[in-house]
Amino acid sequence: MSYRAPLAEYDLLMRHVVGLDLVAGTERFGEANAETVATILSEAARMCEQVLAPLNAPGDREGARLENGVVRLPEGFAEGYRAVAEGGWAAITASEAYGGLALPITVATAVNEMMASACLSLQIAPLMSQGQIEALEHHASDEIKALYLPKLVSGQWNGTMNLTEAQAGSDVGALRTKAEPGGDGTYAITGQKIYISWGDNDATENTCHLVLARLPDGAEGTKGISLFVVPKFLPDADGNPGVRNDLSVVSLEHKLGLHGSPTAVMEYAGAKGWLVGEPHKGMRAMFTMMNNARLGVGGQGIGVAERAFQHALAYASDRRQGVTPLGATAIIDHADVRRMLLTMQADVFAARAIALSCAVAIDMETATGQAAWAARAAFLTPIAKAFGSDTGVRVADMGVQVHGGMGYIEETGAAQFTRDVRVTAIYEGTNGIQAMDLVSRKMMDEGEMAYVILDEIEAEAQAVRADLPDLAEPLLEACAALRAGTDWIVQHPAEDRFAGAVPYLAAFARVLGGQAHLKAARVEGGARLALARFYMARMLPEYAAKLAEARAGAAGLYAADVRAMAR
């Protein structure tokens, strides 16, 4: 089936739920009012619906391939990438000084989600470039900025992120890639990196790699890592691609999904690179790109969830089987199919609201420099990433179930969403790492930001308690329980926090989702109110079980011997 961008939902969320007006009220983003943003999103939607969406299934079937050292994209992907680049969507938040649109990341989050819905394998390319652009803007020298940013912003060149090595997954500090000073301001980069999304392609003139490596005097662990920009082709005197650098694609990964996206094993054999930021401070610079990508990956999960929901809804509306309470009609009128579809719809709305709320906080931090906005953005980022990607996995899986046996057959398309989205819960820091980050670094304030957010939710629920008690009362009850759970988290040592981190994050996301549904129901009523009631009655109560698990502590995990029972 075809894809339709959820423009009405973006409009509702931005006007009445996440606070786009706050962003538009700043001097930095004064032109990003709701009307202007709606026009921008409409243009992006047209491209996604008409150009990118038709590439999704054929790209999955054909896949990217490596032929005689050259990476070939599936048919139509080069044209799709050009449509993205020519529309400015690869550099939507980049500075105008380098040709970017300088729009809020709130707008970029919606555009990126639409592109992910349309064709996730292709969307990865502009998402990676956006992150590299931000990292270079913040940390690179003026010379590097002047040379690389105009090309990345225009989409002539694409950017990648090189962290992972075979022996160093999430433990980036264990990397072995070396950087030897060349004596002329350049460095010779030697080592191998794996899982490099869009590590090479035949759609762009050049591919620019941001590579983590260790200088000879770099300390062990993450504190001794530096960051380098290493292009596929060395720019000549005019800034155009010149001779080939000493790097190559060893192979393309054979993946569960995302077949159209070339995920490369990269070999650097003394490749020439340039230092980005200060020596031994590479993780600081790379985290700029990683945090950008974490919100973006959450959006990828939401985008695939939206497409899977639309696909399942269309199938359930047409498929006739059995007798429902309404007679012999389509399976959408069977109670359990209706339950699944409403669950999918309600979860997508909640996840989308959390991601956009996180984006608003980032924009407000950028526009105002206020510490409170920075703390809110930092707190919401792991939730947006983990809950967004987990929602993608859940909703895509449920979409297969709605299709029944046909969902297991590749021709219906439901299985591709499940295969494609699964990795989003793994990369840019697994969701377990996101949860651990939430209960540790993001709670170094003793939970202050968590309590601020809970205060806001409680105030909003209290304001409608008389008019919408069936929404307000369960949300107030959930807030009280989450407050007690947060007390427990901040009062216990790291091992207990980490043991309950994933369920705690899930509980917090469930309550944030309740807040979003409450706000939307107040504005629209009707079907939106019915969906909010469904969420409060059937999905919000998950918080109780999650908090019980979160407070169980670590002792039981280590008392049980998983190996003993496996013998």
Provide the 3-class DSSP secondary structure of residue 191.
strand
97 contact partners, CB below 8 Å, separation of at least 6: none
Concatenate the DSSP letters of all residues of 356-399 into one string.
Answer: HHHHHHHHHHHHH--HHHHHHHHHHHHHHHHHHHHHHHHHHHHH
Q: What's the N-to-C CA distance of the chain in angstroms?
A: 48
556 contact partners, CB below 8 Å, separation of at least 6: none
| CA neighbor of 308 nearest in space, from 560, 41, 56, 565 | 56
Residue 291 has pLDDT above 80, yes or no: no
Structure tokens at 303: 């985008």
pLDDT tens track for 202-257? 999 999 999 999 999 999 988 899 999 999 999 999 999 999 999 999 999 999 99
Percent of the chain scoring above 70 in pLDDT: 100
Residue 182 has pLDDT above 80, yes or no: yes
Which is more confidently placed, 428 or 452?
452
| Candidates 165, 306, 428, 460; catalytic one | 428
Q: What is the mean pLDDT of residues 180-190?
A: 97
**Active-site residue, 549 included:** no
Concatenate the DSSP letters of all residues of 191-223 into one string.
Answer: EEEEEEET-S-SSSSEEEEEEEEE-TTPPSSGG
Which is more confidently placed, 347 or 321?
347
The pLDDT value recorded for residue 543 is 98
Structure tokens at 349: 């709305």
**How would residue 277 be classed by pLDDT, with cut points 50, 70 and 90?**
very high
The pLDDT value recorded for residue 233 is 98
Residue 170 has pLDDT above 90, yes or no: no
Q: Quick one: which H or E segment has residue 162?
A: strand 157-162
pLDDT tens track for 353-395? 999 999 999 999 999 999 999 999 999 999 999 999 999 999 9
Specify which residues 157 forms β-bridges with.
206
Residue 557 has pLDDT above 70, yes or no: yes
**How would residue 171 be classed by pLDDT, with cut points 50, 70 and 90?**
confident
Specify which residues 187 forms β-bridges with.
181, 273
**pTM for the full predicted model:** 0.97
Q: What is the mean pLDDT of residues 399-413?
A: 97
Residue 401 has pLDDT above 70, yes or no: yes
Residue 286 has pLDDT above 70, yes or no: yes
Residue 267 has pLDDT above 70, yes or no: yes
The pLDDT value recorded for residue 90 is 87
| CA neighbor of 156 nearest in space, from 204, 220, 216, 202 | 204
**How would residue 527 be classed by pLDDT, with cut points 50, 70 and 90?**
very high
The pLDDT value recorded for residue 417 is 98
Residue 107 has pLDDT above 70, yes or no: yes
The pLDDT value recorded for residue 154 is 96
Percent of the chain scoring above 90 in pLDDT: 90
Distance separating alpha carbons of residues 15 and 28, to the nearest angstrom: 19
554 contact partners, CB below 8 Å, separation of at least 6: 495, 496, 498, 499
Average pLDDT, the chain: 95
pLDDT tens track for 488-521? 999 999 999 999 999 999 999 999 999 999 999 9
Q: Which residue has the tokens 């990118």?
A: 52
Q: At what angle do helices 469-491 and 448-463 cross, to 10 degrees?
A: 170
- Length in residues, the chain: 567
**How would residue 329 be classed by pLDDT, with cut points 50, 70 and 90?**
confident
pLDDT tens track for 255-265? 999 999 999 99
The pLDDT value recorded for residue 1 is 62
Q: What is the mean pLDDT of residues 25-39?
A: 96
Sign of the torsion formed by the C-alpha atoms of 434, 509, 195 and 359: negative
